[in-house]
Amino acid sequence: MALAGSPRAKKGILERLDSGEVVIGDGSFLITLEKRGYVKAGLWTSEAVVEHPNAVRQLHMEFLRAGSNVMQTFTFSASEDKMESQWEAVNTAACDLAREVANKGDALVAGGICQTSLYKHHKDEARIKKLFRLQLEVFARKNVDFLIAEYFEHAEEAVWAVEVLKEARKPVAATMCIGPEGDMHGVTPGECAVKLVKAGASIVGVNCRFGPWTSLKTMRLMKEGLWAAGLKAHLMVQPLGFHMPDCGKGGFVDLPEYPFALEPRVATRWDIQKYAREAYNLGIRYIGGCCGFEPYHIRAIAEELAPERGFLPLSSDKHGSWGSGLNTHTKPWIRARARREYWENLLPASGRPFCPSLSKPDA
């Protein structure tokens, strides 16, 4: 199968999804850049776009080569309440970096906002919408292709975000960081999806907090809720790149390993190929990842869905399908691993004989 060619005239996000095209999102920025030494854990703010633009540019490029169709602005927690005087410079720089890389391939730029620090304490709709609107003004000025309201644990605040983003008259996607139990106020996933679509979102789903399999369970509930309400929307999923079957309602942030000891839980590329296929079979056409989702995970999505897309990502030039590159190894027992059946059926060991396989959430 051919690799992705040179970019053509770009179709918009809804044009792609309406035609049934698979859109591959990007992956982890905060967790990945923290490991690389460019983000500080705690507030998890995105000033790296100003302080270390080359690091952010490089990560965007890695996702683009891996098959991402969307360069999401690195503007997580980049609202005025969290960044004070830096917020505008950070949002502006993030848009410029995303656009620079998107222009090197067939990728769109999505301006992203997330939940505020105010909602849990004040629930001041006017004040919170003002924070969203400030970021939106930058996205509008920079002419991003569409908008994403992501990482919301309360449906009400997510609805407020969608209502503000709709003011720009661009397509809006909305994802919540919830599991099958619903939001923190007990709103079910199906009800959350209905509220978001009624607010004006054309694309709805989940991101972060939970692993691939839990996120797909939540997506199924969202899909069922929309169907029951007689509503239609495109579906989007961007889970963690970690195995998290032991999460409570709050997701991985409540587990004792968060955020500095998550490595034993990292999903393999083969896990992610299975996730991509299950997401596609569920009817989801916007498929990506969030924290812990490295470029090779995104490549796994692109390779699994290459038959549907008609091409492989650029980075597959250095990756043999299902380990086929191992055919050239000098050791016969390693050459024997150059087949799909081997990797699909492998139960990888952790190498940690005294560690439990699961944890108990602290909250």
List residues forming the annotated binding site.
208, 290-291
Q: Where are the alpha helices (DSSP H) in 106-149?
A: 125-141
Nearest in space to 47 (alpha carbons), one of 14, 88, 81, 101: 88
Enumerate residues 6+ apart whose C-beta is below 8 A from 266: 241, 242, 243, 292
b/e string for 300-326 if b means 16 or more Cβ within 10 A? bbbbbbbeebebbbbbbeebeebbeeb
Instruction: Give dist(CA 63, CA 297) in Å, integer.
Output: 9
CA 233 to chain CA centroid, Å, is 18
Instruction: Give dist(CA 318, CA 249) in Å, integer.
Output: 39
Q: Which residues pair with 11 in a beta bridge?
A: none
Instruction: Give dist(CA 175, CA 146) in Å, integer.
Output: 14
What DSSP assignment string belongs to 310-348?
TSB-GGGGG--GGGGGGGG-SSHHHHTT-SHHHHHH---
Q: Give the amino acid at 281.
A: N
**Which residues are known binding-site members for Zn(2+)?**
208, 290-291
**CA 125, 114, 283, 214 torsion: positive or negative?**
negative
What DSSP assignment string belongs to 39-85?
S-TTT---THHHH-HHHHHHHHHHHHHHT-SEEE-S-TT-SHHHHGG
